[in-house]
Amino acid sequence: MNESLRIGICGFGVAGGALAVLLARAGHRVTLLERAPKVGPVGAGFLLQPSGQKILAQLGLFDAVAQRSARIERLEAFTETGRQLTDLRYDHAGSGLCAYGVQRGVLFSALHETALLAGTSVTLAAEIAELDETPEGVLVRDVTGRNFGPFDLVVGTDGSRSRVREWLNPGNGRRREYTHGALWGSGHLDSPHDALHQVARSARQLLGLLPIGEGRVAFFWGLRRDEVDALQKRGYERFREDVAALCPRAVPVVDELGGFEHLSFAGYLHSLPRRVHTGRVVLAGDAAHAMSPHLGQGANLALLDAECLARHLSQSPLPEALSRYAAERRSHSRYLSILSQVLSPFFQSESRVLGWGRDIALPLFCAVPWMRRQMELSVAGLKEGFFHRL
Ligand SMILES: Cc1cc2nc3c(=O)[nH]c(=O)nc-3n(C[C@H](O)[C@H](O)[C@H](O)COP(=O)(O)OP(=O)(O)OC[C@H]3O[C@@H](n4cnc5c(N)ncnc54)[C@H](O)[C@@H]3O)c2cc1C
């Protein structure tokens, strides 16, 4: 429908990479602008849900990614005393379903290679600062004052702290930094399980182990932003003792990491902007809906956004394609955004009451078949609203 548009994609992450592949294959002239001086993923690993697997299969990348990833059958959570809080199973959400624990580098390399093969041009060290709509198209300016474009369409896939989102929503107040985040790293375990294993002490402490393939596991240790310095000052040995007290299974990973310099802190942010498009600029991925990672959905939503936007661009002329894309994706991203905002404090906050509430409520919910199924469909990414399935 839209013949060979000039498309600028700001941000080479999951959404930007997937979009570049789809749009370049559809015959558009695609330029990816990325602020990092070198291409590469940030972070340890993530859960690829059944919803995201479908899109990777459409891109022809699913087999290559799955082969190097870990099959995840269950999401299990325990209290520090060993009491089980959840045991959610993917095959309850659909026969044969599972998730994959994926090393970010594995997905990123697959997207990078395929985007280049499809004809995408990639410009690195281009940190986008602002946009300018001119009669010839949209110009994109980076922080050094370089201009890129003009483009017929600019897609903001520049992540949770998106500049394109700010440009579309000047003075946007609908952005909230969480007080909490997590230290992330990865190491090896002799026999990683087939589950994301989480241990919680009240809502104050959350530890997780996610198998990510090739014998590796991603390790995370949740904490408040303002506790990171104090933790480091106490020393790595004391941190190791804390980990051993909460989850002895994680100790070999902490030993292999060997020091705080091999753990990175990720702070979480929530944003659901009012405007996700104008006639020639549109947001996708975290830029359109940043949320805490407790539900494990962000990368999957980014893939779903990319597929949906590319499909509407192939079916409708430009301004209409963007409206249709935004309308189709609104319900799913709003549902998960609200759910993550409501649930995050039960897993990471200062509230003892929320921690107790969670420890009582979660096992009860899991014992009610309808509730359990709703939870299993939601984590699989197959529920797009409180009353709708994808
Ligand atoms: C600790 C942690 C754990 C997570 N676990 C999961 C999980 O298990 N499952 C899941 O589905 N999701 C998970 N997520 C969320 C997931 O990582 C994101 O939702 C996903 O990466 C979003 O993709 P994106 O392409 O929108 O943004 P990103 O992947 O963040 O990519 C954004 C890109 O834009 C670039 N950029 C930023 N600003 C600019 C600029 N001004 N100019 C140019 N380039 C710019 C960045 O360098 C980056 O390359 C997790 C997130 C975190 C932080």
pLDDT exceeds 80 at position 41: no
CATH number for 140: 3.50.50.60
* 85 found inside a domain: no
Tell me the pLDDT tens digit for each residue of 267-280: 999 999 999 999 99
Tokens of 57: 């299969």
pLDDT exceeds 80 at position 42: no
CA distance linking residue 194 with residue 144, whole number of Å: 47
Does residue 258 share a domain with residue 126? Answer: no
Strand partners, 132: 139
| Confidence at residue 43, expressed as pLDDT on a 0 to 100 scale | 66
Which residue range forms the structural domain that includes residue 143? 6-73+97-175+269-379
Q: Which of 268, 302, 323 is the last residue of a domain?
A: 268
Sheet containing strand 29-33, edge to edge, reads 121-123, 29-33, 6-10, 153-156, 281-283
Distance 95 CA to ligand 1 centre (A): 30
Ligand 1 pocket check for 122: Cβ under 6 Å: no
* 80 found inside a domain: no
* 374 found inside a domain: yes
Q: Which of 268, 286, 313 is the last residue of a domain?
A: 268
Per-residue pLDDT band for 349 (boundaries 50, 70, 90) equals confident
* 31 found inside a domain: yes
Section 145-161 average pLDDT? 96
278: left (phi over 0), alpha (psi -120 to 50) or beta: beta
CA distance linking residue 60 with residue 113, whole number of Å: 12
Ligand 1 pocket check for 17: Cβ under 6 Å: no
Distance 105 CA to ligand 1 centre (A): 13
* 110 found inside a domain: yes
* 64 found inside a domain: yes
Ligand 1 pocket check for 120: Cβ under 6 Å: no
Q: Which of 233, 250, 268 is the last residue of a domain?
A: 268
Tell me the pLDDT tens digit for each residue of 56-98: 999 999 999 999 999 999 999 999 999 999 999 999 999 999 9
Single out the residue of 220, 229, 336 nearest to residue 286, CA to CA: 336
Tell me the pLDDT tens digit for each residue of 155-205: 999 999 999 999 999 876 567 889 999 999 999 988 768 999 999 998 888
Does residue 147 share a domain with residue 50? Answer: yes
* 388 found inside a domain: no
Report the 10 Å Cβ neighbour count for 371.
14
Domain total in the chain: 2
Angle, alpha carbons 200-192-105 (nearest 5°): 95
Tokens of 241: 């003792």
Does residue 216 share a domain with residue 148? Answer: no
Does residue 132 share a domain with residue 17? Answer: yes
pLDDT exceeds 90 at position 142: yes
pLDDT exceeds 90 at position 346: no
Angle, alpha carbons 240-246-251 (nearest 5°): 40
Does residue 35 share a domain with residue 169? Answer: yes
Does residue 246 share a domain with residue 184? Answer: yes
Does residue 285 share a domain with residue 231? Answer: no
Does residue 152 share a domain with residue 190? Answer: no
Taking all residues of the chain, what is their mean pLDDT, rounded to a whole number?
93
| Confidence at residue 19, expressed as pLDDT on a 0 to 100 scale | 98
Candidate of 34, 46, 47, 206 to mutate for ligand 1, largest count of ligand atoms within 8 Å of Cβ: 46
| Confidence at residue 202, expressed as pLDDT on a 0 to 100 scale | 84
Does residue 183 share a domain with residue 141? Answer: no
Does residue 228 share a domain with residue 182? Answer: yes
Tokens of 233: 């000052």
CA distance linking residue 244 with residue 325, whole number of Å: 47
